[in-house]
Chain A
Amino acid sequence: MSNPVSSARATQLPHLARLAGIAGLGALVGCILLMLIPSTRGSMLPAYLVGYTFWFGIALGGLMLSMVHLLTGGAWGILVRRPLEAASLALIPLAILIVPIFVGHQVLYPWTRAADPYLDLIHEKTAYLNLSGFILRTVIFFIIWITLAVLLNVASIRQDKTTSHAPTRWLALMSGPGLALAFLTATFAAVDWLMTMEPDWYSSIYGAMLMVGWGLCTWCMMVLISTFLRDVSPVDQVARPRIFNDLGNLMLAFVILYAYTSFIQFFIIWAGNLTEEIPWYLRRTRGQWWYVMTALIIFHFFVPLFLLLMRGLKRRPERLSLIAIGLLTIHLVDLTWLIVPARVREPLSITATEIPWFTIILIPLAVVAIGGICLATFLTVLRSKPLLPVNDPSWDRIPAIWHQEEMEREFDDDDLDLGDAHFSPIVTGR
């Protein structure tokens, strides 16, 4: 199965990569300046963390979902494996972009402050909550993730050059333990970077919940890039309505799963109503945040749920892309809701009911800064390799899709109506 990789649209990629890189670097300079000014530091750092978490999720999602495809197979993988692999390499710039969070630790993580009212509550967990451990863990996590991402990309290229499936078999062998390791490390990354902002609060589903959200964003991004490249040869051979339908179903599954994990966490904490747990929700459900929470319930669950149940929407890439953009936006709001209310001065406080609008305004800047650099990496990597994994074993699944399309087209040509009318003679003849 050898396909010539050349196209007009693909040549736009370096131009876009350059544009994203310039925008990202420019915005990053802005972010760093705002972090240096003492009066804006407190607003910039949470905004930066929101942007960072958002893009980090997509890069990590690229890594984890590539490994999922290697283990399960499936036609969808042919279309999105290369974008997923390229996304995973964005973990390299992200490993550097985390430095501002380390530097600004005192703003974000109260347990790093010398005199803080939280300290009384957390003196029993200093074995985990200490700055050197925090940095060391993050460094180890990134070494693991980047190693996995590089192995994935290198072996995938090797597979392109041979019809023997040895490189893919090797990758599949690596993906089982790799996925388990990534799941475990990502859980603790979520705990370290986000949960410890409120060091007295804890929830054991938190890491899994964050990962599901990241997975959802990754699927959305894959829909966007596949829609962009769908007319490019050879992507057009696999960018078929049925595969977009599969991607839409995967988005739907993650929308439901995210609502499930979020609701379960809420329900258990609500029912328990314990002083160490419930303030986390009180901070996020009172005052102006109540509107944000309501919007999340509607637009992060109900609206996408019903839209993604419609096959007609899932089979049209442009419409599915609109849903994907909507979901990415609302997930950014969700991350904001998770991260920004954490910045309260008093422990167990429920007073943070006002939305800090200056922080909110800075979030797009952070999203552009980190996103620009990640996208530049992503597009550059994507361009450097064939757009499809040409010798991947999952190609086996593709002819069946072409065949089904052919059959459908034949039926269309004959004006054969398979609806109720077709059966009505049998019904009346009974």
Chain B
Amino acid sequence: MAQVVSTHGHSHEGNGHSHSEILGGHQSYTTVTDTISDVVLKRPLGKAWLFGFAIAFALLMMFLFAITNLLVRGIGIWGVNIPVGWGFDIVNFVWWIGIGHAGTLISAILLLLKQDWRTSINRFAEAMTLFAVACAGLYPLMHMGRPWLFYWLAPMPNTMALWPQFRSPLVFDVFAVSTYATVSLLFWYVGLIPDLATLRDRATNPIVKKLYAIPALGWRGSAIHWHRYRTAYLLLAGIATPLVVSVHTIVALDFTTGIIPGWHTTVFPPYFVAGAIFSGFAMVATLAIPLRSYFGLKDYITDKHLDNMAKVMLVTGLIVTYGYMIEGFMAWYGANTYERYQMLVDRPFGAYKHDWWLLILCNCVMTQLLWFKSIRNNVILLWLISIVINVGMWLERYVIVVLSLHSDFLPSSWGMYHGTVWDYMTFYGSIGLFMTLMFLFVRVLPAISIAEMRELVHELHERDEAKTHATPPAARTV
């Protein structure tokens, strides 16, 4: 059973991954299972984990307090006003939903593209997606002011014959985000089933055993189980793939169908999607780097993984930069007075110029550091850059949402916007929600897919076999 793959003294040049790059140490089915499941089943609660969880939980309580106050007093406690009717709520919604996209990209698209380096990071990237979507989904609900009437967004027959406006991307959003949340949850859960069974089988405490047994759905690992599991998993990957693009495209359409200067530009959807992946990978790196070092998972989340993530950040960062550049150029080329003023005067030199320049620094300038291998391979620097990107992408949404609204067509209706203390409490509070869920997740479920890591061990072994035994078809006798 224990199939040992030697990973030493064996390195290839070029694009094919060698074992030591995506799987370190001497790994067998047993070592993979032990290392990953022990984090959940055997490892005692560490001080660092407790400390981190305490902070996250405190932030979550602050979130609860801020939301309670919001429900009692209404959205007047926020900084939104006329003309800036979209503030932190929409900025945070777009920021969180964007972060989720990396999880789906890693789990679905990279699976279909047969990128084996996805295997060790897909599980917690998917969890990150779920938690980010949970945070994102709360904001439009709160933004409505009367969240208890949210079901009015759904097209349901009613005596007043009132229907949502189906031409509005805001209605598309309801469908896109709820589909996204459902599919992400299913994908994550289906992938977890074999691992839940492993935990069930290895747990010694009878109550814990029961708790893992129920969601494991009686998994026995028979050939027919695996056959159906693989089919379901691939189908879900196929369904999830368009969602990576559709959700953020529709978020972009929320802006572009408004003809406000700075919003109505056709390149928004593709560069929003790229920006979502950009921020999502930054968040994966922000989480993966401490995770692998704290739980001793460096053999599974290797430097090669970090290097690949950094490359994805570089590419998507360049696409985002291209987007800024081309929208600036088209604002000038279109020769529309308001568009030119918004993009070329107000943003770089207006009241919010510091936010704009900081955004350019974070997203366009700092990202260029990732061209250098030495920086990509420096874990601390990479971690810092990933945080800078998260900040930059938040600022991007702030600049887009607030600046276009604060100075549109009529100077008489221009105004300023600043978040209030409640805006900030809600924002940091949602980070608390996200981190609390993340902390709980890494303790109760395997953060790396055990089943898929076993498969990777097998596949790397097979690939070695192929290299030594396969012959070109011309040399074969058919």
Q: Hey, which bits of chain A sit against chain B, CB under 8 A?
A: 72-74, 121-122, 124-125, 128, 165, 168-169, 176-177, 180, 183-184, 187, 191, 202-208, 233-234, 236-237, 240, 260-261, 264-265, 267-269, 271-272, 274, 276, 392-394, 396-397, 399-400, 402-406, 409, 423, 426-427
Q: Which of B24-32, B251-259, B414-422 contacts A (4 or more CB under 8 A)?
A: B251-259
CB distance from A140 to the nearest CB of B (A): 16
A-facing residues in B323-348 (Cβ within 8 Å): 326-327, 329-330, 332-336
Of residues A265, A406, A409, which shows the largest number of chain B Cβ atoms within 10 Å of its Cβ? A406
Whole-angstrom distance between the Cβ of B247 and the nearest chain A Cβ: 14
Do A399 and B267 touch (CB < 8 A)? no
Find chain A residues with CB under 8 A from B269 CB.
Answer: 205, 260, 264, 268
Which of A180, A184, A207, A400 interacts with B463 by CB under 8 Å?
Answer: A400
CA A393 – CA B12 in complex, angstroms? 9
With contacts A268-B253, A426-B222 taken as known, whether A205 is within 8 angstroms of B266 at the C-beta atoms is yes
Residue of A nearest to B314 (CB): A176
* A34 to B267 Cα, complex, angstroms: 38
Q: Which residues of B contact A261 (CB under 8 A)?
A: 270
A396 touches B259 (CB 8 A): no
Report yes or no: B335 in contact with A125, Cβ–Cβ below 8 A: yes
B window 1-40: CB within 8 A of A = 12-16
Is B472 touching A187 in the complex (CB atoms < 8 A)?
A: no
A-B pairs with beta carbons under 8 Å apart, 14 shown: A73-B15, A122-B335, A183-B322, A202-B330, A204-B267, A205-B270, A264-B270, A268-B253, A274-B264, A276-B334, A393-B14, A396-B15, A397-B15, A427-B224
- Choice from A72, A204, A264, A274 contacting B15 with Cβ under 8 Å: A72
Question: A405 to chain B: which residues have CB within 8 Å?
Answer: 473
Contact among A165, A233, A397, A399 for B13, CB-based, below 8 A: A165
Bound together, the chains give a CA A191 to CA B12 distance in angstroms of 43
B14, A267: Cβ atoms under 8 Å?
no
Contact B264 A268 (CB under 8 A): yes
Find residues 246-279 in chain B having any chain A CB closer than 8 Å to their own CB: 249, 253, 256-257, 259, 264-270
Task: Name, among B15, B16, B318, B476, the residue most crowded by chain A CB atoms within 10 Å (CB to CB).
Answer: B15
| Cβ-based interface call for B466 (8 A) | yes
Cβ of B43 within 8 Å of any chain A Cβ, yes or no, is: no
Interface of B is mostly: helix
Extra 19 A-B pairs, beta carbons < 8 Å, given A268-B253, A272-B264: A169-B13, A177-B371, A183-B322, A187-B322, A204-B327, A205-B266, A208-B270, A236-B473, A260-B269, A264-B249, A264-B266, A265-B266, A271-B167, A272-B259, A393-B12, A402-B471, A402-B473, A403-B466, A406-B476
Q: Give the distance to chain A from B375, nearest Cβ to Cβ, in Å.
A: 14
The residue on B at minimum CB distance from A165 is: B13
- A289 CB → nearest B CB, Å: 20
Q: Tell me if B15 and A276 are in contact (CB < 8 A).
A: no
Task: For B253, list chain A residues within 8 Å (CB).
Answer: 267-268, 271
Residue of B15, B268, B336 touching A394 (CB-CB under 8 A): B15
Determine which residue in B266, B267, B332, B334 has the highest number of CB atoms from chain A within 10 A of its CB, and name it: B266
Nearest Cβ in chain B — how far from A384, in angstroms? 24
Closest to A180 in B: B318
CB within 8 Å for A426 and B270 given contacts A207-B326, A399-B470? no
Also in contact, A423 and B227, with CB within 8 A (given A264-B270, A405-B473): yes
Contact B245 A399 (CB under 8 A): no
Contact call B266/A204, Cβ cutoff below 8 A: yes
Q: How far is the CA of A426 from the CA of B226 in the complex (A)?
A: 13
When distances are taken between beta carbons in the complex, the residues of chain B under 8 Å from A204 are 265-267, 326-327, 329-330
Q: How far is the CB of A118 from chain B (nearest CB, A)?
A: 12
Return B344 CB to nearest CB of chain A, in Å.
12
B223 at the interface (CB under 8 A from A): yes
Tell me how far the C-beta of A390 lies from the nearest C-beta in chain B, rounded to whole angstroms: 13
Tell me the smallest distance from the CB of B22 to a CB of chain A, in Å: 14
A109 CB, nearest partner CB in chain B, Å: 15
Known: A202-B330, A274-B259, A396-B12. A176 touches B474 (CB 8 A): no
* B interface, size bucket: 35 or more
Contacts A180-B318, A276-B336, A405-B473 known; A203 to B266 CB distance under 8 Å?
yes
Q: Are A402 and B470 in contact (CB under 8 A)?
A: yes
B230 smallest CB distance to A (angstroms): 12
Q: Is residue B42 contacting chain A, with contact meaning CB distance below 8 A?
A: no
Q: Report whether A426 and B224 are in contact in the complex, using a CB–CB cutoff of 8 Å.
A: yes
* A236–B474 touching, CB < 8 Å: yes
Does B47 interact with chain A (Cβ within 8 Å)? no
Q: Which residues of B are interface residues toward A (Cβ below 8 A)?
A: 12-16, 167, 222-224, 227, 245, 249, 253, 256-257, 259, 264-270, 318, 322, 326-327, 329-330, 332-336, 371, 462-463, 465-467, 469-474, 476, 478
**In the assembled complex, which residues on chain B have CB atoms less than 8 Å from the CB atom of A394?**
14-16
Q: What's the Cα separation between A128 and B330 when bound, in Å?
A: 11
Please, how many angstroms separate the alpha-carbon atoms of A187 and B326 in the complex? 9
Question: Who on chain B is nearest to A73 by CB?
Answer: B15
Asked if A202 and B334 make an inter-chain contact with CB atoms under 8 angstroms apart, the answer reads yes
Pair B266/A396 contact, Cβ less than 8 Å: no
CA distance A276 to B333 in the complex (A): 12
A123 nearest CB neighbor, chain B only: B335
- Give the docked Cα–Cα distance between A315 and B29 (Å): 35
A2 CB to nearest B CB, Å: 12
Query: In the docked arrangement, what's the CA distance between A332 and B62, Å?
Result: 60
Could you tell me the distance between the alpha carbons of A404 and B466 in the complex, rounded to whole angstroms?
8
In the complex, the answer to whether A397 meets B266 with C-beta atoms within 8 Å is no
CA distance A125 to B332 in the complex (A): 8
Q: How far is the CB of A241 from chain B (nearest CB, A)?
A: 11
Which 8 pairs, one residue from A and one from B, show the smallest C-beta to C-beta distance? A393-B14, A73-B15, A403-B466, A396-B16, A204-B267, A271-B257, A205-B266, A399-B470
Nearest Cβ in chain B — how far from A406, in angstroms? 7
User: What CA separation (Å) do A370 and B469 show in the bound complex?
Assistant: 47
Q: Which residues of A contact B333 (CB under 8 A)?
A: 125, 128, 191, 202
Known A204-B267, A264-B249, A394-B15: A272·B470 in contact at CB below 8 Å: no
The chain B residue with its CB closest to the CB of A261 is B270
Instruction: Check A406 against B336 for contact (C-beta < 8 Å).
Output: no
Q: With A and B bound together, what is the CA distance between A400 and B371 in angstroms?
A: 31
A172 (CB) vs chain B CBs: closest residue: B15
The CA-CA distance from A426 to B220 in the complex, in Å, is: 13
Q: Are A168 and B270 in contact (CB under 8 A)?
A: no
Residues on the B chain within 8 Å of A233, using CB:
474
Which residue of A191, A265, A423 is within 8 Å of B224 (Cβ)? A423
Chain B, Cβ-Cβ closest to A203: B266
| Interchain nearest-CB distance for B50 vs A (Å) | 43
Q: How far is the CB of B443 from chain A (nearest CB, A)?
A: 36
Contact A403 B266 (CB under 8 A): no
A72 to B14, CA, bound (A): 10
CA distance A202 to B334 in the complex (A): 6
B20 to chain A, nearest CB (A): 15
- With beta carbons under 8 angstroms apart, the residue of B16, B259, B322 that contacts A393 is B16
B256 near A268 with CB under 8 A, answer yes
Task: Please give the distance in Å from B397's CB to the nearest CB on chain A.
Answer: 18
Given A208-B270, A267-B253, A203:B330 Cβ within 8 A: yes
Cβ–Cβ < 8 Å partners of B264 in chain A: 268, 272, 274
Complex interface: chain A residues within 8 A of B371 (CB): 176-177
Q: B338 CB to closest chain A CB, in angstroms?
A: 11
Chain B positions within 8 Å of A260 at CB level:
245, 249, 269-270
State how many angstroms separate the Cβ of B400 from the closest Cβ of chain A.
Answer: 14
B474 touches A237 (CB 8 A): yes
B266 in contact with A393 (CB, 8 Å) = no
With both chains docked as a complex, state the minimum distance between the C-beta of A135 and any C-beta of chain B, in angstroms: 18
Q: Which residues of B contact A202 (CB under 8 A)?
A: 330, 333-334
CB–CB A240/B473 < 8 A: yes
Complex Cα spacing A168 to B14, Å: 9
Assembly CA distance A276 to B256 (angstroms): 16
CB contacts (< 8 Å) of A205 on chain B: these are: 266-267, 269-270
CA distance A60 to B335 in the complex (A): 30
A393 touching B227, Cβ below 8 Å: no
**Residue from the set B223, B245, B334, B371 with the largest chain A CB neighbour count within 10 Å:** B334
